[in-house]
Amino acid sequence: MTKRTKLLLGGGLIIVALAYLINSGIREASVYYITPSELKAKGKAVSDQSFRLGGMVVPGSLHWEPQTLKLTFRLTDGKEEVAVEHIGSPPDLFKEGAGAVVEGKCTADGPFRSSMIMAKHSEEYTPPKDGEGSAKHIHRPLAAPQGVQ
Partner 1 sequence: MIATLGRFSLWLALALAVYGAVVSILGARRQRASLIESGQGAVVSVFGLSTFAVLLMEAGLVGRDFSLEYVARNGSTDTPLFFEIIALWGALEGSILLWIWLLALMSLIAVWLERKRQRELIPYVTAILLCISAFFLFLAAVPASPFTTIFPPPPDGRGPNPLLQNHPLMAVHPPGLYAGYVGWSIPYAFGMAALITGRLGETWIRTVRRWSLASWGFLTIGIIVGGRWSYAVLGWGGYWAWDPVENASLLPWLTGTAFLHTVMIQERRKMLKFWNVALVILTFALTIFGTFLTRSGILSSVHTFSNSSVGPLFLIFIGVILLISFALLVYRSDRLQAEGDLDSLVSRESAFLVNNLLLLGFAFSVLLGTLFPLLSEAVRGVKVSVGEPFFNTVNIPIGLALIFLMAIGPLIAWRHASLESLRRTFAVPLYLALLGTGISWFFGVRGLYPLLAFALSLFTVTTVFQEFGRGVIARRRNTGEGYLMALSKLTSRGRRRYGGLIVHLGVAFLVVGITASSFFKLEQEVTLKQGESLQLGRYQVRFDELSAWQEPHRFVVQGNFTIFNANQKVGEMRPAKRFYPSEQQPIGTVDIRSTMREDLYLVLSSFTQDGTSATVKALVRPLVMWIWVGGWVMVLGSLIAIWPDRRRAVVAEATSEYAVWQPGRS
Of 8, 16, 25, 78, which lies in the binding site for partner 1, with binding defined by CB under 8 A?
A: 25
**Range in contact with partner 1 (rule: CB under 8 A) among 55-63, 75-83, 104-112, 133-141:** 133-141
Residues 6+ apart with CB under 8 A from 133: 99, 100, 101, 117, 118, 119, 120
CA gyration radius, the chain: 20
In the complex, minimum distance from the CB of residue 96 to partner 1, in angstroms, rounded to a whole number: 12
> Per CB under 8 A, does 132 bind partner 1?
yes
User: Of the candidates 83, 82, 84, 90, which has an alpha carbon nearest to the alpha carbon of residue 65?
Assistant: 90
Which whole-number Å values give the CA distances from 77 to 25, 72, 93, 125, in the listed order?
Answer: 30, 17, 19, 11
**Range in contact with partner 1 (rule: CB under 8 A) among 55-63, 77-85, 104-112, 138-146:** 138-146
As a residue count, the chain comes to 149
Cα distance between residue 100 and residue 117, in whole Å: 7
Binding mask 39-58 toward partner 1 (x if CB under 8 A, else -) reads -------------x------
Please report, as ranges, the residues that interact with partner 1 according to CB under 8 A.
Answer: 3, 6-7, 10-11, 14-15, 18, 21-22, 24-26, 28-33, 52, 64, 66-67, 69, 88-90, 92-93, 95, 103, 120, 123, 128, 130-136, 138-140, 142, 144-149
